[in-house]
Structure 1
Amino acid sequence: MSEDEKTPAREIIADYAQSHFRYFRTADGTVFAQKNRHPVARPIRSQGTSGSHRQELMVGLFTDGFGVFNGTALKEALDLIEALAMSQDVQPVHIRVAPGFDGATWLDLGRNDGQSVRIHPTGWDILTPDPQEVCWRRTQLTGELPLPAKDTSGKGIDVFLRLCNFATAETECLAIAWLIGCLGPSVPVPAPFLTGPQGAGKSTGGRMLVRIIEGMSGDLRRAPKDEENLIAAVAAGWITALDNLSHLTPDLADAMCCIVTGAESIKRALYTDGDVVRSRYRRPLLMTGIDVGVIRPDLAERLLPLRLERPRVRRTEAELWREFEEALPVILGSLLDLTVKVRAAEADIPTDLRMADFAHLCAQLDAAAGLGALTAYRTSLDDLNDDVIEGDLLAQTVLKHAATLDPGTQTRMTSAEWLHCLTRLYSGDDCLPLPKGWPTTGKVLSDRLKRLQPTLAARHVLIDWGRSNTARYIELTRPAAPPPSQQEAAF
């Protein structure tokens, strides 16, 4: 055969690729390759160590007897495939958890055979998902989970709680509610903050919570130095677990708020002038630490404090993790059983809490298992409000001023007048020096009060802003106490 009659290498590669792989694009324009009848998808431009499409294409060509091709032929073939895929329908890819058809959700077990868990209204099954329904994306952070056990009768939950050192039954039910929330792709869940004295097993408890969802390779990590690295870590996995936090900078606190409730990051694509890379993320977040100092009010509404206590009897790490690994299939199976019951339970949606989806999940958990999760969640938020107030002298001064007012009283003043009033109230007759960070102008005071507004409202002090004919004002109201019948109905 003459040289002119030979099929070009790039055409051989392109024909082989299109017959053995399915190519599609995501909403941000990234092209993925998916082996026929297999749910795992890989970006065709990936050079990652977790396995790239280029590598699996080379292996397939060699195994099927087509030989070895040079890099130029591979690049030309992939360029053509990428251009053709841009006209295909858009389909999302998911890490670990994904929505499915008919109200079902999927949990990726991280297995090479693609077997996953389908959670549906009547139960859960271990299946290989249809590629048209679910496309999994794997990274180095995607660990393998064991096949969950069936018919556990809930004993896996008891084993898990016995291995952890949660201080109270209320803490235990909040931890279970959070795990159930992590199995929902569309439910924002507050970030557990595992706290307690030294030696309480905070890091160990955090690892156990993470490994139930992420497998035995899941672990805690130090908080990144900058937001860009934090977002990269968040986008590459499902649960982000930060260990041994002792201080939260304002930037880190803002980033955590975005992780919990969802946000998008945009940066310039490498080697381009105008192209951008979009990173959407909303992930479960977990933290451990003894104390992180003053908590900002917006972050406090997104936290879930889980207190641990020091164990009476110590065990070796090897013994503890061996028992946990052996029990993980039963723990995961019991969690899936409980998740099905919770999703089938009917409960009213609490409309007075910031994280309403999680509060509704707690109410469903109460209806399914009677654990008192919603009451425990309300109590935890109340404790966090106390922490915010104890760390903010301005909030304490506002509450001190409100205590001097009669119930049902409204007070209107300009921001400058409020600043003078609160400053004088804080300094008192002793003329105490103003603390660092005390508002210096009416505008700064107004901005601080906007942050504190939900916290003060939880203590029955309402702050509002308005404008009269002459100037803007800030209104402080101490509502009248509700009748005893309404107070009883609130609990």
Structure 2
Amino acid sequence: MTDDDKTPAREVITEYAQAHFRYFRTADGTVYAQRNGHPVARPIRSQGTTGSHRQELMVGLYRDGVGVFNGTALKEALDLIEALALTEDVQHVHIRVAPGFDGATWLDLGRADGRSVRIHPSGWEVTVPDPREVCWRRTQLTGELPVPVKDTDGKGIDALLRLCNFATAETECLALAWLIGCLEPSVPVPAPFLTGPQGAGKSTGGRMLVRVIEGMSGDLRRAPKDEENLIAAVAAGWVTALDNLSHMSPDLSDAMCCIVTGAENVKRALFTDGDVFRARYRRPLLLTGIDVGVIRPDLAERLLPLRLERPRVRRTEAELWAEYAEVLPLILGSLLDLTVQVRGVEAETPTDLRMADFAHLCAQLDAATGLGALAAYRRSLDDLNDDVIEGDLLAQTVLKHAEDMAPGEAQRMTSTQWLHCLTRLYTGEDFRPLPKGWPTTGKVLSDRLKRLQPTLAARGVLIDSGRTKEGRYLEMTRTPATPPPEQQAL
């Protein structure tokens, strides 16, 4: 056979690849390869340590006796495959949790055989998903989960709560609500903040909660020093857990708000001048720490404080984690049973809370079990509002001014006039010095009050702004006292 009669290597590789793999593109234009009948997809340009498509293609060609090819032939073949895949329909790839057909939800067990959990209205089962329904993306952060146990009768939940040092039953039901929320890809959930005295097992409790979703390889990590590294870690996994926080900078606080409720990061694509890379993310977030200092109001609405207490009996790490690993299949099975039960009940959605989806989930949990999660969530938000007020002298001064207002009374002034009024109230007759960070102009005051609006509204003080012919104004209104929502329903 002459050289002209031989099939070019790139064509041999392309023909083999299209026979054994399915290629598609995502909305951002990344092309993925998926072995026929297997739900895990890999980007064809990836050179990551979790295994690239180039590597699995080379191994397949060798094991099937097709041959061993040089890098040039592989590159040319993959270039052609990528160009062809860009004409295919768009399909999403998911990490750990994904929506499915007919209202189902999928949980990736991270197993090599592709087995996953399908959660549907009538129950759940372990099966391999149809690759056209669910495409899993895996990274180094994707740990393996055990096959969950069926018909646990809630024993796994009891085992988890026994291992954690939650201070109250309210904290326990909020932790359960968060875990259920982690299994729903469309529901943004507030970030649990595990607090308590030194030695309360905050890091251990955080690991236990994370590993229910991420497997035994799931762990806590220190907060990255910059937002770019934080986003990279968030995008590579499902649950992001930050340990031992002692200070929360404004930039980190804003980044956490975006992680909880969702955002998009756009940056220049590598080795290009005009192309951009888009990263959309919304992930469950977990934090631990004794105290992070002043909490900003917008983050406070997205936190879920879980208080732990010091255990009466200490156990070794080896003993504790050996028991946890043994009961993890039972814990996961109980959580899946409870998730199906909660999703099967109807409940009214509270309309007065920022995280309405999570509040609705708490209401469903109450309807299914009678735990009182929604009332506990409201009380936790009240506690966080108290923390925000205690750490903000401007908020304290506004509330002090509102004490002299009659219920329903409204006062309107320019921001500069309000600044003079609140400054005089704070300094008092003894002219005490203004604290660091006190507003220096009317514009700064206006911006600060806008951030404090939810916190002040929870204490019966409404801040509004507008414009008349004379100029812009700020209006402060003291609302009439109303009973808590749970008392209104009685």
TM-score (norm 1): 0.99
1:418 aligns with 2:444: no
Specify whether residues 46 and 369 from structure 1 end up closer, same or farther in structure 2 by C-alpha distance, changes over 3 A only: same
Contact between 2:23 and 2:32, CA under 8 Å: does it hold in 1?
yes
Distance 1:486 1:171 in 2: 20
Alpha-carbon deviations, 1:266-297, whole Å to 9, x = none? 11111111111110000000000000000000
Distance 1:164 1:91 in 2: 40
Specify whether residues 485 and 348 from structure 1 end up closer, same or farther in structure 2 by C-alpha distance, changes over 3 A only: closer
Residue 94 of structure 1 aligns to a residue whose secondary structure is coil
Specify whether residues 23 and 234 from structure 1 end up closer, same or farther in structure 2 by C-alpha distance, changes over 3 A only: same
Residue 146 of structure 2 aligns to a residue whose secondary structure is coil
Q: Which residue is equivalent to 1:489? A: 488
Residue 192 of structure 1 aligns to a residue whose secondary structure is strand
Residue 200 of structure 2 aligns to a residue whose secondary structure is coil
Q: Which residue is equivalent to 1:176? A: 176
Q: Which residue is equivalent to 2:80? A: 80
Distance 1:453 1:232 in 2: 32
Q: Which residue is equivalent to 2:283? A: 283
1:137 aligns with 2:119: no
Q: CA deviation at 1:490?
A: 5.5
Specify whether residues 361 and 266 from structure 1 end up closer, same or farther in structure 2 by C-alpha distance, changes over 3 A only: same
1:94 aligns with 2:88: no
1:103 aligns with 2:118: no
Identity of aligned residues (%): 82
Contact between 2:191 and 2:287, CA under 8 Å: does it hold in 1?
yes
Q: CA deviation at 1:405?
A: 1.1
Q: Which residue is equivalent to 1:448? A: 448
Distance 2:48 2:481 in 1: 61
Alpha-carbon deviations, 1:421-460, whole Å to 9, x = none? 0000000001000000000001100000000011000000
What amino acid is the match of 1:130? D
What amino acid is the match of 1:367? A
Aligned length: 490
Distance 1:438 1:363 in 2: 40
Distance 1:194 1:138 in 2: 28
Q: Which residue is equivalent to 1:437? A: 437
Contact between 2:107 and 2:117, CA under 8 Å: does it hold in 1?
yes
Q: Which residue is equivalent to 2:461? A: 461
Contact between 2:38 and 2:131, CA under 8 Å: does it hold in 1?
yes
Q: Which residue is equivalent to 1:296? A: 296
Q: CA deviation at 1:470?
A: 1.1
Distance 1:17 1:212 in 2: 37
Deviating 4+ runs (over 6 angstroms): 484-487
Residue 395 of structure 2 aligns to a residue whose secondary structure is helix
What amino acid is the match of 1:242? L
Q: CA deviation at 1:472?
A: 1.5
Residue 198 of structure 1 aligns to a residue whose secondary structure is coil
Q: Which residue is equivalent to 1:210? A: 210
Q: Which residue is equivalent to 1:157? A: 157
Contact between 2:179 and 2:209, CA under 8 Å: does it hold in 1?
yes
Residue 119 of structure 1 aligns to a residue whose secondary structure is strand
Q: Which residue is equivalent to 2:124? A: 124
Distance 1:288 1:65 in 2: 53
Contact between 2:460 and 2:481, CA under 8 Å: does it hold in 1?
no
Residue 153 of structure 1 aligns to a residue whose secondary structure is coil
Distance 1:51 1:91 in 2: 21
Residue 279 of structure 2 aligns to a residue whose secondary structure is strand
Residue 194 of structure 2 aligns to a residue whose secondary structure is strand
Residue 305 of structure 1 aligns to a residue whose secondary structure is strand
Q: CA deviation at 1:385?
A: 0.2
Q: Which residue is equivalent to 1:187? A: 187
Q: CA deviation at 1:2?
A: 1.1
What amino acid is the match of 2:276? V
Q: CA deviation at 1:481?
A: 2.9
Distance 2:481 2:161 in 1: 40
Residue 464 of structure 2 aligns to a residue whose secondary structure is strand
Distance 1:270 1:426 in 2: 53
Alignment of 1:223-242 (within 5 A): 223-242=223-242
What amino acid is the match of 1:444? V
Q: CA deviation at 1:487?
A: 8.6
Q: CA deviation at 1:480?
A: 2.3
What amino acid is the match of 2:487? E
Q: Which residue is equivalent to 1:60? A: 60
Residue 273 of structure 1 aligns to a residue whose secondary structure is coil
Residue 117 of structure 2 aligns to a residue whose secondary structure is strand
Q: CA deviation at 1:70?
A: 0.6
Deviates more, 1:1-10 or 1:220-229: 1-10
Distance 2:439 2:87 in 1: 56
Residue 37 of structure 1 aligns to a residue whose secondary structure is coil
Distance 1:486 1:57 in 2: 60
Distance 1:289 1:426 in 2: 32
Q: Which residue is equivalent to 1:221? A: 221
Q: CA deviation at 1:123?
A: 0.2
Alpha-carbon deviations, 1:372-430, whole Å to 9, x = none? 00000000000000000000000000000000111121111111110000000000001
Specify whether residues 228 and 41 from structure 1 end up closer, same or farther in structure 2 by C-alpha distance, changes over 3 A only: same
Distance 1:39 1:3 in 2: 40
1:308 aligns with 2:308: yes
Residue 29 of structure 2 aligns to a residue whose secondary structure is coil
Q: CA deviation at 1:110?
A: 0.2
What amino acid is the match of 2:442? G
TM-score (norm 2): 0.99
Distance 1:110 1:470 in 2: 64
What amino acid is the match of 2:422? L
Aligned-residue Cα RMSD (Å) equals 1.1
Q: Which blocks of at least 5 consecutive residues in structure 1 are unaligned?
A: none
Contact between 2:375 and 2:486, CA under 8 Å: does it hold in 1?
no
Q: CA deviation at 1:486?
A: 8.4
Specify whether residues 189 and 455 from structure 1 end up closer, same or farther in structure 2 by C-alpha distance, changes over 3 A only: same
Q: CA deviation at 1:203?
A: 0.3
Q: Which blocks of at least 5 consecutive residues in structure 2 are unaligned?
A: none
Residue 334 of structure 2 aligns to a residue whose secondary structure is helix
Distance 1:284 1:387 in 2: 23
Distance 1:486 1:219 in 2: 38
Alpha-carbon deviations, 1:326-351, whole Å to 9, x = none? 00000000000000000011000000
